[in-house]
Copies of this chain bind each other. A is one copy, B any other.
Amino acid sequence: MRLFQSGPMPDKRLTLAHGNGGRLTRELIETIFAPAFNNPDLDTQSDAARFLLTGASMMTTDCYTVDPLFFPGGDIGKLAVCGTVNDLSVSGAVPRYMSVNFLLEEGLEFSVLESVVTSMAEEARSNAVSIITGDTKVLPKGMVEGMYIVTTGIGSQICADISISNICSGDNIFVSGSVGDHGAAVFLARAKYGLQGSLQSDCASISVLAAQLMGIPGLKFMRDPTRGGLATVCHEIIRSCKLGVRLVESVIPLKPEVQAYCDILGLNPYYLASEGRIVFVVDDQVSIDDICGISDDIHCIGKIEEGHGNLVLQTDIGGTRIIPELDSDPLPRIC
């Protein structure tokens, strides 16, 4: 019989009772959620929290199931807050309030939850977003993989002129940095594939840049190229506006590592998710140089064309290639 255990204490783990609404749920709120998300609008006593938004507002929601929970450049918590902040930002709104749902697996280590919650709280604070209400479910082992998070954000609309329906032939398309970093970094982080590298996810808030872009008079449309990547944003434009899109391969910013992983795995990098970029469309009367002057990393990558209904890539070797709408899923659980 060993009286003293050597090595670190075993980590405390979540039980089903942490999600039953009773004593342990309360303790979870009191010890982890309330201290981290502390803000004047947080209400842990009621079933609903009070907020105040005047004028036209926007609402968005997203579910995050990324595997693994921690990846180079971020974790599921940072991703969940940035994702919702970014969806509001590219829709012309200033993010203000957020709700959070945790779906947790029985047996998950407290330290993992704490780390994710800390990351969410920091990201919310740096975006001046108040997490005001939430819900936690603990599911029997095997019915969630680790943790899924849902964030729902609301904010004030400050720019009502952004709409996919404004886009017309001749407009220029821009991107605010290299594409596909997040998708490739998460994929790399899956140890089972045995790949290694220094690539980081681009996971970040783009709210400041979005606000700057709203100052461009001819701005027509912004979208963050997450699930389905740059190609999917282009196809949304094509379908919605009954137009065509032409991208120029040589000017689309792509990290060599991302290109290399795509080559190894037979993936198209334009389908890979970014989590800190904006794809945007501007009237061609606005000088491309002026727009690219806003930041070092803004690139004009193509044009909207008359309605041929295709995404055409002008390749480096001088030809053209059609990139179809994404069909089968190359990388599930990337966000």
Contact = CB atoms under 8 A, between A and B. Distances in A.
Interface string A106-138: 000000000000000000000000001111111
Contact of A157 (B50, B133, B326): B50
Interface string A4-36: 000000000001110111111110000000000
Interface stretch (A55-63, A71-79, A171-179, A258-266): A55-63
A246 interface: no
Contacts of A251: none
A50 B61 contact: no
Given A22-B327, A91-B47, A63 B150 contact: yes
Contacts of A236: 45
Nearest to A88: B48
User: How many of chain A's residues touch chain B, expressed as a range?
Assistant: 35 or more
Interface in A115-173: 132-140, 142-145, 148, 150, 152-154, 157, 163-165
A217 interface: no
Contact of A101 (B24, B61, B97, B223): B61
Contacts of A25: 228
Nearest to A143: B145
Given A59-B97, A63-B150, A152-B152, A325 B23 contact: yes
Number of copies of this kind of chain in the complex: 2
Nearest to A98: B59
A327 B59 contact: no
Contacts of A62: 101, 135
Q: State the main secondary structure of chain A at its contact with B.
A: mixed
A283 interface: no
Contacts of A235: 22
Given A57-B51, A332-B140, A154 B157 contact: no
Contacts of A240: 45
17 contacts: A20-B329, A22-B329, A23-B326, A26-B325, A47-B87, A48-B93, A49-B58, A50-B157, A51-B56, A54-B54, A60-B99, A61-B134, A62-B101, A63-B136, A65-B103, A101-B150, A139-B333
Given A20-B326, A23-B327, 19 more contacts: A16-B332, A19-B332, A20-B328, A21-B232, A22-B232, A22-B235, A46-B164, A47-B60, A51-B58, A51-B59, A53-B53, A61-B101, A61-B134, A62-B101, A63-B150, A65-B137, A139-B145, A142-B142, A150-B150
